[in-house]
Amino acid sequence: MKNLSLIFAFIALFSLGAQAQSISVGLRGGINLTTNVGEDVSEDNKFVTGANFAIPVEIGVSDNFSVQPELHYIQKGTKVEFSDDLYAYSLTNYFELPILAKGMFGTENIKGYVAAGPTLGVAFSRFVTLVNGDEKEREKAERDDQGEETDNIFDFGLTGAIGVEINAGPGAFVIDARYNMDLNDNTSFENDAPENYNPTKNSGIGISVGYVISLGK
């Protein structure tokens, strides 16, 4: 189903590209603050800071509306505090493809925007770091991919963004803030999930800055 949704999304993007009034491309970078959410998640789980880089492609449909697919490298995870000096955090590296509907408002030189849409992603590595006072130990976590219960490498969620674009030179500076909420569980099961099992999902806030340039039409 996810692959079929992705195929339809690409068909829709190609159709929009053929009718686009303008096309812009950019580069953004920043941080992503995430944690795990769910009924069984401990109160000791806190936000952890990861990286967030994106290549957005904005396909202008009208003066105030566009469709913006993006290629993301993003880190998601959680931090667990055992005491003030002892804690561990996990960060998973993802490649994601958000496809956002974007509405714009403002003047020619300064424009605000709101955007929202689905995201599809895949995880490719995970690292766990244990901090004990001044000592820090980091190691790569091997993915559990056998048996009834396995790590879920696929990611599907929703994102909402607000931001501002400030004209400068041949393009515009961008400041972007967004909320990301995964809809799928971090764990997958070969058969049905155990009775009384509650899923665990990623949730977070991303802040990034960048620059976009119009490629014309």
What is the DSSP secondary-structure string of 83-117? SSSEEEEEEEEEEEEEEEEEEEEE-SSEEEEEEEE
**Sequence spans of domains, the chain:** 2-216
- Report how far Cα 95 is from the mean position of its chain's Cα atoms: 8
Q: Which residues pair with 137 in a beta bridge?
A: 130
Q: How big is the chain by its Cα radius of gyration, in Å?
A: 19
**Token digits for 187?**
């764990």
Reported CATH class of domain 2-216: mainly beta
How far is the CA of 208 from the CAs of 4, 24, 72, 137, in angstroms? 30, 18, 12, 28
**Token digits for 150?**
């396995």
Yes or no: say if 145 and 151 are a contact pair by the CB < 8 Å rule. Answer: yes
DSSP annotation of 41 reads -
Residue-level length of the chain:
217
Closest CA to 142 of 130, 127, 159, 161: 127
Closest CA to 22 of 117, 96, 99, 102: 102
Q: What is the mean pLDDT of each run of 10 residues along the chain (217 residues)?
A: 47 49 92 88 85 94 90 93 88 94 93 96 91 89 65 90 95 96 82 76 95 86
Amino acid type, 85:
D
Task: Supply the pLDDT for residue 143.
Answer: 66
Hey, is 10 helix, strand or coil? helix
Write b or e for each residue in 144-162: b if 16 or more Cβ atoms lie within 10 A of its Cβ, otherwise e. Answer: eeeeeeeebbebbbebebe
Task: Supply the pLDDT for residue 156.
Answer: 92
Q: Which residues pair with 7 in a beta bridge?
A: none
DSSP annotation of 165 reads E
Task: Supply the pLDDT for residue 212.
Answer: 96
Task: Supply the pLDDT for residue 25.
Answer: 94
Task: Supply the pLDDT for residue 10.
Answer: 47
